Amino acid sequence: MLTRFSSYFFSTFILCFFVFSINVKAQNYQLWYDKPAQKWTDALPIGNGRLGAMIFGGVQEDRIQFNEETLWTGEPRNYNRDDAAKYLPKIRQLLQEGNQKEAEALAEKHFLGLKSKEGDREKWLSEIQQLKNLGGNPVLENFDDSAWKTMQVPSYEGWEAVGFEGLDGAVWLRTTIDIPQEFVGKSVVLDLNRIRDQDFTYVNGQLVGTTNNFEPRKYTIPANVLKVGKNLIAILVLNFADKGGVSGYKDTSKPISAYILGDEQKKITLNGLWKYKIQDDEPPAVSKYQADYQPFGDLLLRFNKIKAFTDYKRSLNLEKAISETSFTSSGIHFKRTYLASQPEQVIAIHLSADKLKSIDFEAIMNSPHKHFIAKKINENTLSLSVKVRNGALYGEAFLQIQTKNGKVKVTNEKISVEGADEATLYLTAATNFVNYHDVSANPFAKCQATIVKLKGKNFPQVFKNHLAEYQSYYHKFAIQFGKSPNENLPTNLRLEKFGTESDPNLAALYVQYSRYLLISSSRPNTQPANLQGIWNDLLSPPWGSKYTTNINAQMNYWGAEVLNLSALHQPMINMIKELAKRGEETAQKYYHARGWLVHHNTDIWRGTAPINASNHGIWVTGGAWLSQHLWQHYLYTNDEQFLQKTGYPIMKSAALFFVDFLVKDPKTGYLVSSPSNSPEQGGLVIGPTMDHQIIRELFKSCINASELLGIDKELRDTLKQKYAQIAPNKIGKHGQLQEWMEDKDDPENKHRHVSHLWGVFPGNDINWADSTMMKAARQSLIYRGDEGTGWSLAWKINFWARFLEGEHALKMIKMLLRPASGAGGSYLNLFDAHPPFQIDGNFGGASGIAEMLIQSQGDKIEILPAIPADWKDGSVKGICARGGISLDFSWKNGKIIALEIQSETKTNCTIRYNNQIREVKNLKGKLTIL
């Protein structure tokens, strides 16, 4: 029975609830700008979970860069070494004896996963050295390079950064240098710094140096080679994959140059336009541990009749999941609307104007993939065919045009529209990917079927269907933190001012933007959000844009449950199912263990073996951490059927691996994880703290789940026994939580990973029930410092929220929401800057804000546990707590003034708010608390 309110409190409640409801309904968050995107991280993202696009909003030429989630490099293959396990005892022994470097060397040679097949590099190099395709020798001064084009040299981020995306192979670069008399007869240093990957560098026809790594190049030119006046420098650059060319210095103010040996003051700069010739852009395949997520293509819209324009605006409406571009030209107001429809499985672009017959444009599709083909399908449809180089996957995209009046012409190159009242383009794409072991799909037929289903539908119908489906997720949650004059500014200016001026609702917008991004990149029955969500424009994206499972992939889903997007956890859960199957083989072949594991990375082919290098790639608790997502999904939903059929079997299998894997430490008698790593520092070790925290929580979750389900008592008893023997958290000589078994933490270490604080967040191995250990963890975070890359800043928001320090958490939010620099922050479109772009910071930042508003990891639901003064007034609707509970509440001056909870299943809970505790029994349905 509810407590009776006095008439005063009842009136106050009604007023507060009314205001709260208005705030919720009035919420219409947007990102907006008064100029087109200049670069990719200015553009605005749309997506339907499977298709993603970046909208640039150009006026005369608009670029829509698009992705399809299953276009990756690689192919189904075996990632595991058959004989790895026989080296495990020796690796453990070496580590036990303190011979870390020897252990890492042995593991590097015999314990990493298998790479993909490599092409015949020797044959290719032989053809290059025979000057194939050149018609002469470019090292000679009299070689005719008059037809060669130019590129900017150097480019630290590779020649891809100066307009040559996707260029790999053999490329010649030529320039001349004017040598004064004082240089002649002396040894001169040619300082090119770094080149990717191999170079053969010639001066006046003589080879002065060759290097095959990414180390600096400082070649000494023999004294008799140079002459007064013009001298020729010719460089053959061999780049097999990823970034290529003369990179020069990271500090771009420092030029590549020539100078007299011993006298760097008199430099002749070589920065500038060099002539180039691509000798061969089809190098042999490079062996890789795992695959890369790929861009699909670009849709370019060209509006040749539009010249000058005014009243420009481009925006992203989070409530409607649409991007819009509008402007006025020649007295006509133009509007372009972009959306990614899940019901129709298309990206739709609607072009309109307030004057009839004003829509004139050309639509062209292309791709960074070599040898793409565009062709006419019928009188209103154009297709784009692409194939991933040296991989199993290929794809098709269809672009269909619908117009109201006007003329339409489709050729193999483009779609042309003239004099239409309005026009709508529908873009879809598909690949031959079926699953991680099947690539037999027909992408052409998939696209054809999608376009056929559009027949008879107009844009208003497509928009209506899109809105209903999208808002079924988005409208489950609402948030606001109070008004600010800065809300009327373009988003880039709000970002610029956020660190110094009060703008609390930018943090609220950031939460909804995170939810928008997860909805857009992780619909049910799609692939999970990868390192960049679903958006990528590079053939060699940072870290492959795959799934880094030592924090980044998990961080993408930290907010899924608490921010009322539980259904969007499904793609991650499905990937965990697939990894559990693939990881069984890795467990057996590497550790002779039952169960499953995944190391610190995976890809669309679900590789689970250790990769990259032994000093950080052999990390065994990726699967255990992923398994916690299954337990958390159960805790938030109370879905016992899910736990019984999906969650517990996978968790149990992950636990069985550690039952077999853990070994007794002869020095302490504890069970320890060996070999492993504390991501991503310290090298290969015995017993990193993070491992033990994760394994303890996995065992505890399995014990609780088996008790709840009434099964596996024998295993449960084993896990209880092992749990008690795992090496505990320890406090070191600096008052810090130790990161390793040994007390060797460096208080000056500012590494972006704070792995040993996993037990604080996202885990609960360390909590306020043991305030001494909690304070030691806090001390570790203080030593690690506030600065970090984008996702690291986001993680620290969650830590400070768990430490109940709202002001410090807000400080971290302001650091995350600052203009991107080398120290993290956010790009103009609010994408997280590692840098470069990683989407995990967006998701982790929103999770941190949620932790400031509600925490339910303990035995109570804590409301406003870490609220800063700048958020003294606000409201939230649909935020979720463990126990299958959602809450609506509002607050004023930091005090809760309205609170309602609800649950779809019968549950009990204890709620703390305003320093009060309320016990709720047998809740099912809604209950007004205040």
Say if CB 350 and CB 462 are below 8 A apart.
no
- Digit-coded pLDDT (tens) for 178-233: 999 999 999 999 999 999 999 999 999 999 999 999 999 999 999 899 999 999 99
What is the spatial distance between Cα 921 and Cα 901, in angstroms, rounded to a whole number?
12
Instruction: Characterize the bridge pairing of strands 44-47 and 310-317.
Output: unpaired
Q: Annotate 495-527 with b (16+ C-beta within 10 A) or e (fewer).
A: bbebeeeebbbbbbbbbbbbbbbbbbbbbeebb
Say if CB 662 and CB 671 are below 8 A apart.
yes
Mean pLDDT, to the nearest integer, of 241-267?
A: 92
Say if CB 58 and CB 314 are below 8 A apart.
no
Query: What pLDDT is recorded for position 266?
Result: 85
Mean pLDDT, to the nearest integer, of 504-529?
A: 98
Q: Is the pLDDT of residue 265 over 90?
A: no
Residue 5: band (very low, low, confident or very high) from pLDDT cuts 50, 70, 90? very low
Mean pLDDT, to the nearest integer, of 631-659?
A: 98
Q: Which two tokens stand for residue 645?
A: 């059929």
Question: Which segments of 366-484 does DSSP mark as H helices, in order?
Answer: 443-452, 459-474
Where does residue 918 fall: left (phi above 0), alpha (psi -120 to 50 degrees), or beta otherwise?
Answer: beta
- Digit-coded pLDDT (tens) for 810-842: 999 999 999 998 788 999 999 999 999 999 999
What is the spatial distance between Cα 261 and Cα 594, in angstroms, rounded to a whole number?
62
Sign, Cα dihedral of 719, 720, 725, 727: positive
- Digit-coded pLDDT (tens) for 374-432: 999 999 999 999 999 999 999 999 999 999 999 999 999 999 999 999 999 999 999 99
Angle made by CA atoms 752, 758, 759, in degrees to the nearest 5? 150
Q: Is the pLDDT of residue 439 over 70?
A: yes
What is the spatial distance between Cα 521 and Cα 529, in angstroms, rounded to a whole number?
5
Query: What pLDDT is recorded for position 822?
Result: 78
What phi and psi, each to the nearest 5 degrees, are found at residue 579? -65, -35
Mean pLDDT, to the nearest integer, of 855-880?
A: 97
551 SS3 class: coil
Place of tokens 């050729």: 411
Query: What pLDDT is recorded for position 24?
Result: 47
Q: Which two tokens stand for residue 91?
A: 């690796």
Mean pLDDT, to the nearest integer, of 723-729?
A: 98
Query: What pLDDT is recorded for position 27?
Result: 64
Q: Annotate 768-785 with b (16+ C-beta within 10 A) or e (fewer).
A: eeeeebbebbbbbbebbe
HEC profile of 10-41: HHHHHHHHHHHHHHHHHCCCEEEECCCCCCHH
Mean pLDDT, to the nearest integer, of 108-136?
A: 94
**Which stretches of 460-611 are assigned E, i.e. beta strand?**
478-480, 547-548, 601-602
Q: Which amino acid, one-letter code, is at 224?
A: N
What is the spatial distance between Cα 760 and Cα 883, in angstroms, rounded to a whole number?
20
Query: What pLDDT is recorded for position 242?
Result: 86
- The neighbouring-strand residues paired with 297 are 66
Structure-derived torsion over alpha carbons of residues 902, 907, 908, 913, reported in degrees to the nearest 10 = -20
Place of tokens 């040559």: 164
Query: What pLDDT is recorded for position 165?
Result: 87
What is the spatial distance between Cα 139 and Cα 201, in angstroms, rounded to a whole number?
9
Say if CB 773 and CB 826 are below 8 A apart.
no
Place of tokens 């998939």: 446
What is the spatial distance between Cα 201 and Cα 55, in angstroms, rounded to a whole number?
42
Q: Which two tokens stand for residue 148?
A: 């060669």
Q: Which are the contacts of 684, defined by CB distance < 8 A and separation ≥ 6?
A: 91, 95, 100, 103, 104, 107, 614, 615, 618, 675, 676, 677
Say if CB 30 and CB 324 are below 8 A apart.
no
What is the spatial distance between Cα 271 and Cα 265, in angstroms, rounded to a whole number?
17
Structure-derived torsion over alpha carbons of residues 505, 510, 512, 515, reported in degrees to the nearest 10 = -160
Residue 310: band (very low, low, confident or very high) from pLDDT cuts 50, 70, 90? very high
Domains of the chain as residue ranges with CATH: 34-74+290-475 (2.70.98.50), 121-280 (2.60.120.260)
Peptide bond into 649 cis (omega under 30): no
Residue 12: band (very low, low, confident or very high) from pLDDT cuts 50, 70, 90? very low
What is the spatial distance between Cα 20 and Cα 892, in angstroms, rounded to a whole number?
11
Residue 315: band (very low, low, confident or very high) from pLDDT cuts 50, 70, 90? very high
Going by C-alpha positions, the residue among 655, 751, 647, 700 that lies closest to residue 857 is 700
Mean pLDDT, the chain, integer: 95
- Digit-coded pLDDT (tens) for 15-63: 333 333 434 443 679 999 999 999 999 999 999 999 999 999 999 999 9
The terminus-to-terminus CA distance of the chain in angstroms comes to 13
Integer angstrom CA distances of residue 865 from 117, 237, 563, 885, 896:
53, 57, 17, 17, 12
What phi and psi, each to the nearest 5 degrees, are found at residue 147? -90, -5
Angle made by CA atoms 753, 756, 758, in degrees to the nearest 5? 90
Alpha carbon 45 to chain centroid, angstroms: 13
Integer angstrom CA distances of residue 697 from 713, 729, 765:
18, 13, 7
**Which stretches of 116-244 are assigned E, i.e. beta strand?**
149-153, 169-179, 188-196, 198-203, 206-212, 217-221, 229-239
Peptide bond into 762 cis (omega under 30): yes
Alpha carbon 834 to chain centroid, angstroms: 9
